Each structure stands twice: as structure tokens, then as C-alpha cells.
Amino acid sequence: MSTDRLNLPQLQTRMMVNALRSVRVGGSVVYSTCTLSPTQNEMVVENACALARTHYGIKAVERSLKKMENRLTNTGLFQFSADCRRGSLLLPTLLSNFGPTYVCKVTRIG
């Protein structure tokens, strides 16, 4: 595996921290990837929020995407991972010919 690929979560974390720094209080950042990797998904969100708070005093909270999940699941074309703790992980399926897609909405509250 290349060092670029191994360093991808750190780059993604820096990008998300910068996005949180750029958005005003009340604004949201949507973080999305096309991978099943928890390291590039949930861990990036957790680490970015922690670093933003520690280094810049930024408070951010994850917003629920359950309405989106329910609407897409009800079509019968999409499935979501029950193991995803932060955000939503749309699983790849042959029926929808789509995925994987991870998405997490984070709102800056302070």
C-alpha cells in the first residue's frame, strides 16, 4: 500500500478541521467518502471534531440522518450499515448499482 493511501485519513482529518474552522456557528459541514473503511469514515469525523475543539475551541455536533436513511430504505433499493456509529454508511448493492457511500453532517455550535 502506498504512503499516500496510508496517509489519507490524516489528510481527510485536516480537511475536515479546516472546513469546521471555515463554517460559521450554526453552519454545517457534510463529510462524505466512497469507502467502507471506518478509519476514513467515522474516525475522521471523531478525530476532526476532537482536534477542532482542542486546538481551535470549536464545538461541533453530528446531526442525525435517520430521515434520509428511512426514505432511501423504504424504496427497497438501498441498505444502510447498522454498525455505523457516526453518520450513515450506504452499503453497495447490485439492485441499486450504487455504493458504498458514507456521509456525516456536522454542525458547528460554538
Question: Catalytic pick from 34, 49, 84, 104?
Answer: 34
Q: Is 49 a catalytic residue?
A: no
Return the C-alpha cell found at 101: 457511500
The DSSP call for residue 87 is S
Report the length, in residues, of the chain.
Answer: 110
Buried b (16+ CB within 10 A) or exposed e, 39-76: ebbbebbbbbbebbeeeeebebebeebeeebeebeeee
Catalytic residues: 34
